[in-house]
Chains A and B, each alone.
Chain A
């Protein structure tokens, strides 16, 4: 079993939809949880960074962590075509120690 599991999709939604992206992890020692967005032929760009269980909101993005279930989610409200990208979850034991990434979910938002 991989340390982080993420459904690779692809996921296609109409503009304005609410998008839900998810990852599960196996090691309870992981303490820091991140979501990165990666456009084609670009490096990953940090979207959200959380430490504790619960929700963290930033504009149209909400990150949710459930440590008891080892489950993390990213919600995108009012999705836009510019949100079309691959979304990667990443987790780590320390804050900036080596990250363990999911496979990434490719999202397309259709106008």
Chain B
């Protein structure tokens, strides 16, 4: 496909469960970002990869959140022991190179019950 693909589109988890969210960036895009968007809010930065290197993880809210991009393409955001406050839309974005605009996927909507 031509765009950033995220799966699943919707995820319901019971409090305390672990979840894994997947992002397939646009082919050839070097930079990959994860954002969290709470209801009625703008997206907030979580973490950034350049190829397989995680260059910035300053936005991860706690050590329950972990992201990886082992081969520099597909990325996974993992949340351990989910809490209700983790309920949000998780957006992935990629860009071709530094200083080029970001292209966003449609997100994964996570609901923790």
- If over half of A's interface residues share one DSSP class (helix, strand or loop), that class is named, otherwise mixed; here it is loop
Question: Contact between B45 and A98 (Cβ–Cβ < 8 Å)?
Answer: yes
List A contacts of B19 (CB < 8 A): none
Neighbouring B residues of A36 by C-beta, 8 Å: 104
Residues of B within 8 A of A88 (CB): 42-43
Q: Quick one: given A43-B4, A103-B42, A104-B42, are A95 and B106 in contact (CB under 8 Å)?
A: no
Give bound CA distance, A49 to B104, whole Å: 15
Q: Which of A46, A94, A97, A98 has the most CB of B within 10 A?
A: A98
- Surface stretch bound by A, among B62-70, B74-82, B94-102: B94-102
Partner of A96, one of B31, B40, B43, B104: B31
Q: Decide if A103 touches B100 in the complex (CB within 8 Å).
A: no
A52 to chain B, nearest CB (A): 14
Instruction: Compute how far the CA of A9 lies from the CA of B13 in the bound complex, rounded to whole angstroms.
Output: 32
Known contacts A96-B95, A98-B33, A98-B56, A46 near B42 by CB under 8 Å: no
B contacts, CB < 8 Å to A: 4, 31, 33, 40-45, 48, 56, 59, 91, 93, 95, 97-107, 109
A45 CB-CB contact with B under 8 Å: yes
**Interchain CB contact under 8 A, A43 and B98:** no
CB contact between A46 and one of B41, B44, B103 (< 8 Å): that residue = B103
5 extra A-B contacts, CB within 8 A, seeds A103-B40, A104-B42: A36-B104, A44-B43, A88-B42, A88-B43, A95-B100
Chain B residues in 8 Å Cβ range of A43: 4, 91, 93, 104-107
- 8 closest A-B pairs (Cβ-Cβ)? A95-B99, A101-B42, A43-B104, A98-B45, A43-B106, A96-B95, A44-B104, A46-B101
On chain B, the residues within 8 Å of A90 by CB distance are: 42
Check A84 for interface membership: any CB of B closer than 8 A.
no
Q: Is A41 an interface residue (CB 8 A)?
A: yes
